[in-house]
Amino acid sequence: MTRMRTVDAAALILEKEGATQTFGLPGAAINPFYSAMKKHGGIRHVLARHVEAASHMAEGYTRTEAGNIGVCVGTSGPAGTDMITGLYSASADSIPILAITGQAPVAKLHKEDFQAVDIQAVAQPVTKWAVTVLEPAQVPGAFQKAFQVMRSGRPGPVLLDLPLDVQLAEIEFDIDTYEPLPVATPAATRAQVEHALEMLNSAERPLIVAGGGVINADASDLLVEFAETLGVPVVPTLMGWGTIPDDHPLAAGMVGLQTAHRYGNATMLASDFVLGIGNRWANRHTGGLDTYREGRTFVHVDVEPTQIGRVFAPDYGIVSDARAALEVFVEVAREWRQQGRLADRGEWSRECQDRKAELLRKTDFDVAPIKPQRVYQEMNRAFGPDTRYVSTIGLSQIQAAQMLHVYRPRHWINAGQAGPLGWTVPAAIGVATADPESTVVAVSGDYDFQFLVEELAVGAQFSIPFVHVLINNAYLGLIRQAQRGFDMDYCVQLSFDNINAPELAGYGVDHVKVVEGLGCKALRVFESEGIFDALEQAKKLVAEHRVPVVVEVVVERVTNVSMGTEIDAVNEFEALAESGADAPTAVAGRS
């Protein structure tokens, strides 16, 4: 046993648990923890410019590699409250991040001390566990439990709040014999898997819906193997996108009201059976449940027991980690194939492929001002299958999901449920911190970009390289489109005549100047022909300068994007592809 401050024990535990990348900013109440990080020497720290951003950076970092846990650190009071959006986002998307906050001394907690807020209570609904640690000797146990909680069952964030005197107190602690606590991983039994497979086998047009739980469990390879063994098409959810490569013959497209493919929805509507694994029947995926469920049998596999039946009662439910379930699904499916017990799915999967080749949206527009669809077409050309895309919300994110292609798990990193504006820049910083060698490409609308734009300086300061494609329509585009139902265009304009930049012709903010002022590189494009060259140039600038490089594409002000309230009633506002030439970067037909 060694006598040390609790914060020194905490730093040693972070190292032993493998969580050595922090994002945050100091304040008086968290300085002891910062002194422990300095003394330890092995905990890396990226200094954010806003605490909310630090929490999104931690989430981006976690989501990039299996096993990663990003840590965000802040002082007492407003730092913790600034992190709440990040904790909500991580919690909603089942992503473990550890938030560490400073706090007023224990004896001052009820005295309205400076920056003393009950962050434990505030954070509780948006974490798996939030606690103000009142006893110094409980600090090691609190950290140990935090990692167990974050990794067990449905993963999610934890907040540890450390009063100043608790941080400074000395305890006896032995890191050499410290062991991470066991992580609970419920596993499907063979009987459960056989029952589910019997149901699937007796269906005529079955689908597998693969959710983010498959990616969290690092089980994408098993999912693809399972689908291939059965010959059954796969619909990835927005959180599961990348589980199966878009150009795989069994990739059937995404389903939903917004971030969906025409062929994905048509295939769902044609199906008679759905096996959902690690998904949560999100309302933007299902739309109206009557339409989604009609004529279909459902099996739901989820790691969290209370998720089964939360949105609707499936015909059969299995509580299991996705990897644990898929191991048994693959084993039984292989046996059944050998025994000739599996139904032949050739015709059904060919039908799905035909829809994938035919039901396309047009991207090959060549007009001025630029139509945003063209931007995604050029991105498909410029960025390869190893690209990690990062996006959040807005028309730009919706069209990105409709038109880009994703080939690998953890290569579409999107705030799926919470969709907090401003998430993209800091999340991309977290992703590029975790994986500085692959191409990281952020996609934002102008408003999302402006929310936490100051974080670009963090990218410049710490040499964090990524390309940021900024689709500028000078509008809160998604909300403008939503306001059509109210017959109004109210408080959604971002346009103004910028007295310093008349060349922007009323588009308002001069993003190029802002970006350059923050120490990054920026390119601006007004014409379709220039998009591809700008993206290529951005890749070169990223390689040369190792900083964020923004490609601002000034697009038409108003583009109404395909969406609806039912999966059989998605409104198509724009021209559809009539031949392959209209959608030259669609993946159908490549397989």
Ligand X SMILES: Cc1ncc(C[n+]2csc(CCOP(=O)(O)OP(=O)(O)O)c2C)c(N)n1
**Residues at the contact surface with Mg ion, assessed by CB under 5 A:** 445-446, 473, 475, 477
Residue 147 binds which one of Mg ion, ligand X, none, with CB within 5 to 8 A depending on kind? none
Using the minimum distance from each CB to Mg ion, give the nearer residue, 420 or 445: 445
- The CB-of-394 to Mg ion minimum distance in angstroms stands at 6
Q: How far apart are CA 190 and CA 128, in angstroms?
A: 30
338 token code pair: 């050998």
Least separation, in Å, of the C-beta of 6 and Mg ion?
46
- d(Cα 235, Cα 214) in Å, to the nearest integer? 12
Q: What is the chain's percent helix, strand, coil content, to nearest 5? A: 40, 20, 40
Q: Give the containing element (helix H, strand E) for 412.
A: strand 412-414
Cβ proximity to ligand X: between 132 and 377 the closer is: 377
**DSSP three-state, residue 414:** strand
Q: How far is the CB of 74 from ligand X (least distance, A)?
A: 19
Q: Under the rule (CB under 6 A), what is the footprint of ligand X? A: 393-396, 419-421, 445-448, 471, 473, 475-479
- What's the min distance (Å) between Cβ of 524 and Mg ion? 15
CA 353 to chain centre: 27
Distance (Å, whole) CA 392 – CA 425: 10
Q: How far is the CB of 71 from ligand X (least distance, A)?
A: 23
Q: How far is the CB of 128 from ligand X (least distance, A)?
A: 23
The residue count for the chain = 591
Tokens representing 573 are 């506002």
Q: Between 329 and 447, whose beta carbon lies closer to ligand X?
A: 447
Helix (H, G, I), strand (E, B) or coil at 552: strand
- Type of residue found at 569: A
Q: Given the structure tokens 């900024």, which residue do they identify?
A: 470
Residue 257 binding result from ligand X, Mg ion, none, given CB thresholds of 5 to 8 Å by partner type: none
Q: Is 471 or 563 the residue whose CB approaches ligand X more closely?
A: 471
419, interface contact from ligand X, Mg ion, none, CB < 5-8 Å by kind:
ligand X
Q: How far is the CB of 269 from ligand X (least distance, A)?
A: 27
Distance in Å, CB of 376 to ligand X, minimum = 12
Torsion angles phi and psi, residue 33, rounded to 5 = -65, -40
Cis amide leading into 369 (omega within 30) = yes
Q: Which neighbouring-strand residues pair with 442?
A: 390, 468
Q: Which is nearer to ligand X, 348 or 475 (CB)?
A: 475
448 binds, among Mg ion, ligand X, none (CB under 5 to 8 A by kind): ligand X
Count Cα neighbours of 140 within 13 Å in the Cβ-side half-sphere. Answer: 22
Residue 314 backbone phi and psi in degrees, to 5: -75, 165
Contact 30, 7 (CB under 8 A): no
Please give the Cα distance from 277 to 321 (Å, whole number).
Answer: 9
Closest residue to ligand X using C-beta atoms: 445
Q: What is the CA 79 to chain-centroid distance, rounded?
A: 23
CA–CA distance, 485 with 304 (Å, rounded to integer) = 37
CB 481 within 8 A of CB 560: yes
Closer to ligand X at the Cβ: 146 or 476?
476
Question: How far is the CA of 240 from the CAs of 251, 294, 414, in angstroms?
Answer: 12, 23, 10
Q: Which does 420 bind (CB under 5 to 8 A by kind): ligand X, Mg ion, none?
A: ligand X
**CB nearer to Mg ion: pick between 167 and 397:** 397
Which of 75, 473 has the CB closer to ligand X?
Answer: 473
Closer by beta carbon to ligand X, 429 or else 478: 478
- Cβ proximity of 122 and 81 under 8 Å: yes
3-state per-residue secondary structure call for 292-358: HHCCCEEEEEECCHHHCCCCCCCCEEEECCHHHHHHHHHHHHHHHHHCCCCCCCHHHHHHHHHHHHH
* 61 and 431 Cβ atoms separated by less than 8 Å: yes
Residue 308 or residue 479: which is nearer to ligand X going by CB?
479
- Which one, 327 or 448, has the nearer CB to Mg ion? 448
Partner whose footprint covers residue 479, from ligand X, Mg ion, none (CB < 5 to 8 Å by kind): ligand X
Contact 525, 534 (CB under 8 A): yes
Q: Quick one: what does residue 478 bind among Mg ion, ligand X, none, with the CB cut-off 5 to 8 Å set by partner type?
A: ligand X
- Give the shortest CB-563-to-ligand X separation in angstroms: 11
Least separation, in Å, of the C-beta of 215 and Mg ion? 28
* Smallest separation (angstroms) from ligand X to the CB of 429: 18
Minimum Å gap between C-beta 147 and ligand X is 30
Partners of residue 577 on adjacent β-strands: none
The residue among 76 and 258 lying less far from ligand X, judged by its C-beta, is: 258
